Structure 1
Amino acid sequence: MDGFQYTFAALRGIQAGREYYVAMCPLRLLPKIFEFDSQDLPPELRAQRVLNKSRIPAITRYIVEHPHDYVFSAITASIDGPVQFKPFEEHGVHRNIGQLIVPLSARFIINDGQHRRAVIEEALREMPDLGDETIAVVFFLDAGLKRSQQIFADLNTHAVRASSSIGILYDFRSPLAYVARRAAAEVPAFKGLTEMERSSIANRSLKLFTLSGIYYATGALLRKEAEDEISPAEEQIAIDYWTALCTVIPEWNERVIRATSSLELRRDYIHFHSVTLHALGIVGADLIATYPRTWREHLTKLRSIDWRRTNPLWEGRAMVGGQLSKARAQIIRTANAIKQVLGLPLSPEELRLEHTSVDATAAFDANHLETAS
């Protein structure tokens, strides 16, 4: 900030025939210059979505807990006011490198990155030293509300969120992600048969499981969340449990897997799908807690289960109307059936779901998902 203006070191570029600028903005300046649209305005009069405040604490914690290796992508903003770009050279290679001069009276509107801005403001309260660090900002010249709304739509309509599996594959902070990757590499039924990039499996794929499915099932098994610490003993329990299942679920046997196509196995059996994998994780947590020394012996009772989709036992549990369902209620119902084979007691919530109709719990799940979204 210089006198009565902001001065940013910036690069000038051209998109769709319009000039835009990329600048480095100190974090301490970010909350001061970037405004939120009034949350009270109707959507048609705003250039952004309403701020979801529930997201802020978790992302703030991410910065505060990883001050030396956090990463933030650029913020996109529009400047409503006269700006001046002063290049270092009028001609030559430096003609698009220079200073972007913006009067203090100009208005900055965030087109993409409002949650990053709110998180940075919160993080600065806890760690003021972060104020001298910078974030990249892409500045467009404001051309009115409609243009700002169109920028928001263009940035978000074509954005593709990375799959859960590849996020887990590349996450080296989460202990749970590490255990899931280790299970995928060591457990006989998972080894070489886990889809590491996508969270769904194509019909012609040779894979049987997804890394995200193993991750969430292992979280249920260990009763851990992404950032929870996992001891070496707990880590080994997870590997041992999934490995033990390979000896009691006939179709998880390496010889059977090699002799049958992946398409047939996933088509005919429910235990190659995330809903049952997650249920097996829930069952494993209760089994190991109940029989910490002899859980392997009790696990052998699973040899009696018919895991085929055609088994009527799975309708209303892993399957609804003949289709697999990953709804929370169906996961718990699937776990209930397996726990009953093992002689494990059901919790009050599990008992309630056993006596609730499938239609009622489907409606509950639908409402839950709508509220969460």
Structure 2
Amino acid sequence: MYLLLVTNHELLRNFAAEAEVSDGHERVQRDLDRKHYKDIVGYITENPADYLLGAMTYAIDTVDASDFIAAGPGSNIGTLVLPTSARMRCLDGQHRRAAIAEAVSLDESVGDDYSAVVLYVEDDYMKRRQMFSDMNATPKVVSKALNITFDSRDPYAKAAQHLADQHPLLAGVVETRKARITTTDAKIFSLAGVYDGLKRFDLGMVLPRGRSPKNKTIDELIEIGTTLFDTIQAAFPEFQEAKDKLEATDDVKEQADLMRQARRSTILFSTTTLRVVSGALHEAMKVDDENDPAKYIGRLAKIDFAPTSKLFASPDVGFVTGSGTPSARNQEVFAATKALTEAIRIR
């Protein structure tokens, strides 16, 4: 195995972009996903001074000992001469490689940046296939909440972080690390839910693909988010009641029992429901040509959010399952958002 540091120009000249051989017989990679690599292009070109890409991994069928020229006697640092007859296959990083190629075409200076390449010497394509499988068998996906917690580029993420820390409805009850909230969790929302709620209230229930738009400042988004959560806080006193009860005890078991009972009585204590409410407010205001979300407080307060709610449990919506748990699938979330939009519209 060799760890190489090459300029992006050298990467493009010497390391193939194609996933694998065309007939698929010896393929050891997935097909190239155009949207995925386009997202990476945007990331590189928007952050040319400090973008960060992980090492790309290739397998090469042959490298002789003489092809490595050590920097000094016994050194494992030096120069690797790649044989012109060698067959090289991409095991991991084809989307990064394709994105770099397009980024260089848009900004020539990106070609002078350096990228890391891990190169395995392996001539057996079945073993190369196993390498690909092994590398993709164990990675753990980082939770969306944690990604948002650490994100300092996305203005929606920064605004969500501020709201989670400062807004009276959210302070102390937002989960910023875990991927999901359990029935007995003392947290009411996840940071991912606050983030999605803010985006849906601002942009609508159908969010644009790719990275968040940056046409609003963080302060503007904080103001928009404050309006959203002020409205929710006024419409649903259940949240403040739950917060008061949680703050009244330090006993973990009591807190778990409190939240279990709360979630059995209403689907409001669900991050998915927050997405639906936020999106419905946006859609209703848009259709009604209304700028004041406070006019929907009374209408929201009258909606039945019980697990048996006919509005959300009806067959054509299917947002609440037999277990009384809101469905997070996109089609059910969209259907629930549309149903709630119609229910709270000003007629």
Q: TM-score, normalization: structure 1?
A: 0.79
How far, CA to CA, are the matches of 1:304 and 1:185 in structure 2? Answer: 29
Matches within 5 A, 1:20-59: 20-35=1-16, 36-38=18-20, 40-42=22-24, 44-59=25-40
Pairing partner for 2:234 from 247, 258, 266 = 247
| TM-aligned CA distance change 1:175 to 1:139, over 3 Å | same
1:228 aligns with 2:214: yes
Query: Is contact 1:28–1:131 with CA below 8 Å preserved after alignment?
Result: yes
Which SS does the other structure have where 2:59 is aligned?
Answer: strand
Q: Percent identity?
A: 25
1:285 alignment partner AA: H
Pairing partner for 1:185 from 165, 168, 171 = 165
| TM-aligned CA distance change 1:281 to 1:66, over 3 Å | same
Pairing partner for 1:272 from 269, 272, 276 = 269
1:99 aligns with 2:79: yes
How far, CA to CA, are the matches of 2:303 and 2:189 in structure 1? Answer: 20
How far, CA to CA, are the matches of 2:28 and 2:176 in structure 1? Answer: 37
How far, CA to CA, are the matches of 1:110 and 1:266 in structure 2? Answer: 48
How far, CA to CA, are the matches of 1:204 and 1:301 in structure 2? Answer: 29
| TM-aligned CA distance change 1:85 to 1:292, over 3 Å | same
Query: Is contact 2:281–2:341 with CA below 8 Å preserved after alignment?
Result: no
How far, CA to CA, are the matches of 2:289 and 2:32 in structure 1? Answer: 47
1:121 Cα deviation from its structure 2 partner: 1.0
Query: Is contact 2:198–2:228 with CA below 8 Å preserved after alignment?
Result: no
How far, CA to CA, are the matches of 1:175 and 1:33 in structure 2? Answer: 38
Match of 1:88 in 2: 71
2:321 alignment partner AA: V
2:28 alignment partner AA: A
1:153 Cα deviation from its structure 2 partner: 0.8
1:305 alignment partner AA: I
Match of 1:216 in 2: 196
| TM-aligned CA distance change 1:291 to 1:234, over 3 Å | farther
Query: Is contact 2:175–2:191 with CA below 8 Å preserved after alignment?
Result: yes
Q: Deviations over 1:156-203 (max 9, x none)?
A: 111112111111111111111112212212232321111111221134
Q: Which runs of 5 or more residues in structure 1 are unaligned? A: 1-19, 346-373
How far, CA to CA, are the matches of 2:220 and 2:28 in structure 1? Answer: 51
Match of 1:327 in 2: 329
1:263 Cα deviation from its structure 2 partner: 2.8
How far, CA to CA, are the matches of 1:281 and 1:293 in structure 2? Answer: 14
Query: Is contact 1:77–1:108 with CA below 8 Å preserved after alignment?
Result: yes
How far, CA to CA, are the matches of 1:140 and 1:293 in structure 2? Answer: 59
How far, CA to CA, are the matches of 2:296 and 2:76 in structure 1? Answer: 71
| TM-aligned CA distance change 1:338 to 1:203, over 3 Å | closer
How far, CA to CA, are the matches of 2:334 and 2:344 in structure 1? Answer: 15
| TM-aligned CA distance change 1:68 to 1:306, over 3 Å | same
Query: Is contact 1:47–1:148 with CA below 8 Å preserved after alignment?
Result: yes
1:343 alignment partner AA: R
Which SS does the other structure have where 2:305 is aligned?
Answer: coil
Query: Is contact 1:287–1:295 with CA below 8 Å preserved after alignment?
Result: no
1:213 Cα deviation from its structure 2 partner: 1.3
Match of 1:153 in 2: 133
Query: Is contact 1:79–1:141 with CA below 8 Å preserved after alignment?
Result: yes
Match of 2:250 in 1: none
Pairing partner for 2:244 from 258, 277, 283 = 258
Q: Which runs of 5 or more residues in structure 2 are unaligned? A: 247-257
1:61 aligns with 2:63: no
Which SS does the other structure have where 2:81 is aligned?
Answer: strand
How far, CA to CA, are the matches of 1:291 and 1:54 in structure 2? Answer: 34
| TM-aligned CA distance change 1:343 to 1:32, over 3 Å | same
Query: Is contact 1:63–1:70 with CA below 8 Å preserved after alignment?
Result: yes
| TM-aligned CA distance change 1:64 to 1:292, over 3 Å | same
Match of 1:351 in 2: none
How far, CA to CA, are the matches of 2:153 and 2:49 in structure 1? Answer: 13
| TM-aligned CA distance change 1:34 to 1:320, over 3 Å | same
